[in-house]
Chains A and B, each alone.
Chain A
Amino acid sequence: MAQNKIDIEQVKQVAKLARLDLTEAEISQFTTQLGAILEYVEKLNQLDTSKVEPLAHCLPINNCLRADEVKESLGTDKTVTNAPQTDGRFFLVPRILEESGGF
């Protein structure tokens, strides 16, 4: 078998970024499976794409815009009704310890 396209450390890293808690057995299983997928996709590298523009979207259309007009929102009650945890006004999530909002 050719060298795997992805190693165990990379799978652990991706799992961590995706907040997935995997068992050792799963990590091993996914490493093999993801490796096979990447190997298959690598077939594309057999094509010479040096003269092909990167595709931003598969549909040949652009500028799907809408007017800046207000549509009715859900309102608080409907919004939180299916939340796993709520106090009726907010979504409740496990206490955030670190202030590290993304951007």
Chain B
Amino acid sequence: MTDSDYKIIVGLEIHVQLATRTKMFCGCELAFAEDPNSRVCPTCLGLPGALPVMNAQAVEFAILTATALNCKIAEFTKWDRKSYYYPDLPKNYQISQYDLPIGSNGFIEIPLSDGQTKKIRILRVHLEEDAGKNVHTSGNFSQVDLNRAGTPLLEIVTEPDMNSAEEVRALAIELQRIVRFLGVSQADMQKGHMRFEPNVNLHIERGGSTSKTPITEVKNLNSFKALEKSVAFEAVRQFDEFLDTGICLQSGNKKTFGWDDVKEVTVLQREKEEAHDYRYFPDPDLVPVVVNEEWLERIKTKLCELPLKMQSRFISEYGLSDYDAGVLTTDKEMAKYFDDTVKTGADAKRVCNLITQTGIKIANEKGCGVAQLGIEPTRLAALAKITDDGKISATAAVTVFEKMLESKDSPDKIAQQLDLLQRSDEGELEKIVDEVITANAQAVEDVKSGGKKSKKAHGFLMGQVMQKSKGKANPQIVAKILGSKLGS
């Protein structure tokens, strides 16, 4: 290597598919994996004479998201035609927003691995329509499916404020949480609901001066993993290329690379013969959008506590670890369910364990969310309480949790029915402890003599008591009695 040092500079262009029922400018239902060309109409086919009409829900989702991303909301915005020719674009132009995006000058706060957060500036947020899909086949023809044509997309462009592959991944995950919390997108990467295109280059310090490498845009990223790896790969590739060629950033030398998911490398895409000339101009088919104070306020009532804020509240207020708080806030319903349960007075860590270790697993098996399992916050709190009080063991709590899915009885009653209540009666337990002590003189000796064997022998005696009680003795109380009897 050399003595040069580099800094990675990354900005993201993101497309988020909005969770409306219908398309951006027509009433065709949004459908995934439907029969090809079944969800189309004259408008999204771009047939002559058909006129687009804005979907109010899509506009409101866009404003809501831009607000959550701390953007300035345009009071006046309009639609523009972006011209280009491709078989998946039936009108030969895409309806988009050019010079007056719905939102601008915002920021998103992302969590860093050291527990700090970083603000990444958002340049703009605008609405546009998606194109259809080309299904490539053999022979002389390509098949075109226009079901996706006209789907509302929110395009979000960040400033080049990210300086590592990890930060890029953190932003992607944070944005996914935000749009899911807001309910504006299902944000499923595999289904193409979120598409990330990083723009990457390096600032290389060498011999007291800074050199900038040419910017590359990376496409074809279908997972968070691919996104993160592609940025890390590009950094190394660009550094090597710079050492080889010394070529620096110039206007016009930006290149597009595609990510190869199998080989895990970026591949240069064929250079365009000419720079794109989109010839933007205002779409005469659509009238402008004016966002007045009253409308904006009405949309803002749909804002909620955002995931990162909720996560830090769970840490500061409930004493959860960053990891646990992060897991609970991946999903708004789950986060709220947890919050509601704890607010009834249950121990936060216990409730967290019940949800993250038992609830999520069962919910995944059932294909629903934890909050939809049918266990109300008050009943979950009651389960947490009897577990904390030592009435049932942590293992038994899992059994009771499962039973609660079918039964509306209280956890207490279910534990009774299943004979899972721990014995905490000190007199009764003392009798068992005494029997165990009498029957295991050697182990008792080992405990009393201390040293290496002591701990093992203590564990053995505990085990004997638990066995004699058929697993129902409250371990804390048994340990207490054993301790006082053996002076350990």
Contact = CB atoms under 8 A, between A and B. Distances in A.
Interface of A: 13, 16-19, 56-59, 61-76, 79-80, 85, 87, 89-96, 98-103
Nearest to A103: B94
A66 B141 contact: no
B142 A73 contact: no
A56 B56 contact: no
User: Which 8 A-B pairs give the minimum distances between C-beta atoms?
Assistant: A71-B27, A90-B143, A68-B57, A65-B56, A56-B78, A91-B144, A92-B141, A93-B87
B54 A17 contact: no
B27 A69 contact: yes
B22 A69 contact: yes
A19 B88 CA distance: 15
Nearest to A57: B287
21 contacts: A18-B85, A56-B282, A56-B288, A57-B286, A63-B289, A66-B27, A66-B56, A68-B56, A70-B22, A71-B22, A73-B28, A74-B41, A74-B45, A91-B146, A92-B142, A94-B140, A95-B139, A100-B272, A102-B82, A103-B82, A103-B128
Contact of B54 (A66, A72, A80): A66
Contacts of A63: 287-290
Contact of A95 (B35, B37, B38, B140): B140
B279 interface: yes
Contacts of B76: 56
Nearest to B99: A54
B460 interface: no
Contacts of A80: 37
Contacts of B145: 90
B45 A79 contact: yes
A100 to B, nearest CB: 7
A75 B38 contact: yes
B269 A99 contact: yes
Contacts of A71: 22, 26-28, 41
Contacts, number: 150
A75 B462 CA distance: 70
A90 B147 CA distance: 10
A101 B287 contact: no
Given A56-B288, A80-B37, A90-B145, 11 more contacts: A56-B78, A62-B287, A68-B55, A76-B35, A79-B146, A89-B143, A90-B37, A93-B141, A95-B139, A99-B269, A102-B82
Contact of A90 (B135, B155, B258): B135
B59 interface: yes
Contacts of A17: 83, 85, 277, 279
Given A95-B142, A102-B89, A68 B37 contact: no
Contacts of A95: 139-142
Contacts of A69: 21-22, 27
Interface in B82-107: 82-89, 94, 100
A10 B419 CA distance: 87
Q: How large is the interface on B (under 10, 10 to 19, 20 to 34, 35 or more residues)?
A: 35 or more
Contact of B59 (A65, A76, A102): A65
B332 to A, nearest CB: 21
Given A73-B40, A100-B270, A66 B290 contact: no
A83 B81 CA distance: 24
Interface in B55-82: 55-59, 76, 78, 82
Nearest to B21: A68
Nearest to A59: B287
A73 B59 contact: no
B38 A94 contact: no
B385 interface: no
B53 interface: yes
A58 B284 contact: yes
Contacts of B21: 68-70
Contacts of B272: 100
Contact of A67 (B35, B56, B258): B56
B136 interface: yes
Contact of A89 (B35, B78, B89, B270): B35
Contacts of A90: 36-37, 135, 143-145
B40 to A, nearest CB: 5
B55 A96 contact: no
A85 B445 CA distance: 91
Of B55, B142, B269, most A-chain CB atoms within 10 Å: B142
A100 B88 CA distance: 11
B81 to A, nearest CB: 13
A96 B78 CA distance: 33
A73 B39 contact: yes
